[in-house]
Amino acid sequence: MSSDELNSIVRELKELRTLHEKVSEEITALEDRIKAHMEQEEVSIITTGKPYSLLNQMLLGGRTGEYLTYKQCIEEGGSVKPGEKASIIVFWKFLENIDEETGEIKQIPFLRYYSVFHISQCAGIAPRFGAAQPALNDTLQPDEEADRLVQRYLSSSGVKLVCRESGKACYRTVEDTVIMPMLQQFSDMPEFYSTLFHELTHSTGHPFRLNRLTEAAAFGSESYSKEELVAELGSAFVMNMLGLETGSSFENSAAYINGWLQALRNDKRLIVTAAGKAEKAVEMIMGNESREKEPESVRL
Confidence class for position 166, pLDDT limits 50, 70, 90: confident
Is residue 112 in some structural domain? yes
Can you tell me the mean pLDDT for 178-192? 90
Is the Cβ–Cβ distance between 85 and 179 less than 8 Å? yes
Q: Can you give the pLDDT at residue 8?
A: 62
pLDDT (0 to 100) of residue 247 = 65
154 shares a domain with 240: yes
Tell me the C-alpha distance between 286 and 113, whole Å: 37
Per-residue pLDDT, averaged over 231-241, amounts to 90
Same domain, yes or no, for 278 and 189?
yes
Q: Which of 94, 123, 152 is the last residue of a domain?
A: 123
Kindly state whether residues 97 and 206 are assigned to the same domain.
no
**Does residue 178 belong to any structural domain of this protein?**
yes
Residue 192 shares a structural domain with residue 281? yes
Same domain, 190 and 231: yes
Of all residues in the chain, the percent with pLDDT exceeding 70 is 61
Boundary (domain end) residue, out of 90, 123, 156:
123
The count of structural domains within the chain is: 2
The verdict on residue 29 lying in a domain is no
* 2-24 confidence digits (pLDDT tens): 566 555 655 655 554 554 555 45
Residue 139 placed within a domain: no
Rounded distance, CA 217 to CA 215, Å? Answer: 6
> Is 131 inside any structural domain?
no
- As a whole number of angstroms, the distance between CA 288 and CA 282 comes to 8
| pLDDT tens readout for residues 208-221 | 999 998 877 665 56
Structural domain contains residue 298: no
Cβ contacts of 260-266, under 8 Å, gap ≥ 24:
260/225, 260/226, 260/228, 260/229, 261/27, 261/28, 261/31, 262/225, 263/222, 263/225, 263/226, 263/229, 264/24, 264/27, 264/229, 266/222
- Domain containing 174 equals 144-286
Which of the residue ranges 57-66, 124-133, 282-291 has the most confident prediction, judged by mean pLDDT? 282-291
